[in-house]
Amino acid sequence: MRIGIISNLYPPHERGGAELIARRVADEFAHRGYDVSVLTTQPYSGWESLVLRLQEKHIERIYRFHPMNIFGIENIGKKPFLWRLLWHAIDAVSPGVRSVIRRFILEEQPDVIFTHNLKGIGLSIGQFIQETDVRHIHTLHDVQLTVPSGLLMWGHEYSFLNRSFLRRWYEALSKWAIGSPQAVISPSKFLLDLHTSRGFFSNMETHVIPNPAPPVTVPNRAEFRSGPLRFLFAGQLEEHKGILFLLHALDAWAGTRPAPTNTFELHIAGDGSLRAEIEDQCMRDDRLIFHGFVALDSMLKLIAAVDAVIVPSLCYENSPTIIYESFAVGTPVIASRLGGIPELIVEGENGCTFEPGNESSFLEALSHITNDPNVCWAKAAQIREMAQMYALKGYVDALEKMIE
């Protein structure tokens, strides 16, 4: 069987977990003997980058092009509101993408196409696939079909934009663009319920399948080490990811405890618009260790070395990749009680949750780790065992049943 995978980004170009999931699925399908091809974007590098070309032949064949828009998705966060509004309108119409899809399908002859995030490669790709006889299965990763930015902020659920006719217009356009896939996959019940409550995917086949953990040999956690408590923040260095809240909350926590029980290290891995500010703070505070972008193998070693991973998001998360990676290693997670996160965390077993942006709630959750870190380290094997339900093999087994 020939399988096509379409994603707005694909490694080495990546912003978050969605493109990593697409890559893991593509590799696993290829290892199982399927013929796999990928369609994705590339940064603009002249007129020739607008033309679809087969650029890489690894396990899968990777086609890349730069969509016809006023800028690439990698630059959207740097643009003014009106420019972003125009960009979203062009992306929904997807000029030139119909011919790209037709060429991709003609070249590769896929029996089924799995689409992931389409914002930035052409939201109307769903419609274009459905004009052919190729089966289409779409995987949700965030709220970008209902919120243009893909971000639904905690406490802003009833803001003007979320209640206005603009949101309804955008959703109507998204419903037309994505069309009617034969099946829709959501990694969390939260995300699927959000879309169906807003009129998406009615009378369609839907599945909730949690994201797969990384298919690599993970390091075992060592014995508990004395010394400062060690935490890890790994993700985009953006305000909506809660990094500034976390820095303030940990500083407040240290101020309420007597020495030496108030010592800690916060390892920060990631990149984003706050990078310069975070690096500056790290240079002035030796409790903060900045790593920048960290590749997966090194990330897993970093996760294995800390007492807990902290996910302090202020936006509704679907199913953060870092949580799966932490569980695979056996490290507990302290995370915002938001979106699909509570579906992954069993309180007191593999982590704790707290009310987003609430410092006292965060400190209460943190106390489960700080009061006796030995208990958490003793649960490493149990956490790894619980993580087996998120194995890549099981995830792709479920996909195979859908395409049989």
Cα(118)–Cα(394) distance, integer angstroms: 25
pLDDT score, position 181: 96
Q: Of 122, 164, 131, whose CA–CA distance to 146 is shortest?
A: 164
Q: Check the CA dihedral 364-370-375-377 and report its sign.
A: positive
For residue 268, what pLDDT is reported? 97
- pLDDT for 261: 63
Query: What gap in Å lies between CA 50 and CA 44, rounded to an integer?
Result: 7
Q: What is the pLDDT of residue 377?
A: 85
Q: What are phi and psi of 160, to 5 degrees?
A: -55, -50
297: left (phi over 0), alpha (psi -120 to 50) or beta: alpha
Q: How remote is the C-alpha of 276 from its chain's centroid?
A: 23
Best-predicted range by mean pLDDT among 145-159, 196-210, 212-226?
196-210
Q: How far is CA 332 from CA 16, 34, 50, 307, 341, in A?
A: 21, 36, 44, 7, 13
Per CATH, the architecture of 2-209 is what? 3-Layer(aba) Sandwich (3.40)
Could you tell me whether strands 112-115 and 135-139 are parallel, antiparallel, or unpaired per DSSP bridges?
A: parallel
- The fraction of the chain above a pLDDT of 70, given in percent, is 98
The answer to whether the 2-209 and 229-388 domains have the same CATH topology is yes
Q: What is the pLDDT of residues 141-195, one digit of tens each?
A: 999 999 887 888 998 877 777 777 878 888 999 999 999 999 999 999 999 999 9
Q: What radius of gyration do the chain's Cα atoms show?
A: 21
Q: What is the pLDDT of residue 327?
A: 94
Q: Taking residues 334-359, what's their average pLDDT? A: 95
Contact 178, 127 (CB under 8 A): yes
pTM: 0.90
Which residue spans within 317-377 are E strands per DSSP?
Answer: 333-336, 351-354
| Tokens 């993580």 -> residue | 387
Q: Where are the chain's structural domains?
A: 2-209, 229-388
pLDDT band at 260 (very low <50, low <70, confident <90, very high): low
Taking alpha carbons only, the member of 89, 96, 102 closest to residue 47 is: 96
pLDDT at 357 (0 to 100):
95
Name residue 304's amino acid.
A
Contact 8, 120 (CB under 8 A): yes
Architecture of domain 229-388: 3-Layer(aba) Sandwich (3.40)
Angstrom distance (rounded) from CA 171 to CA 165: 10
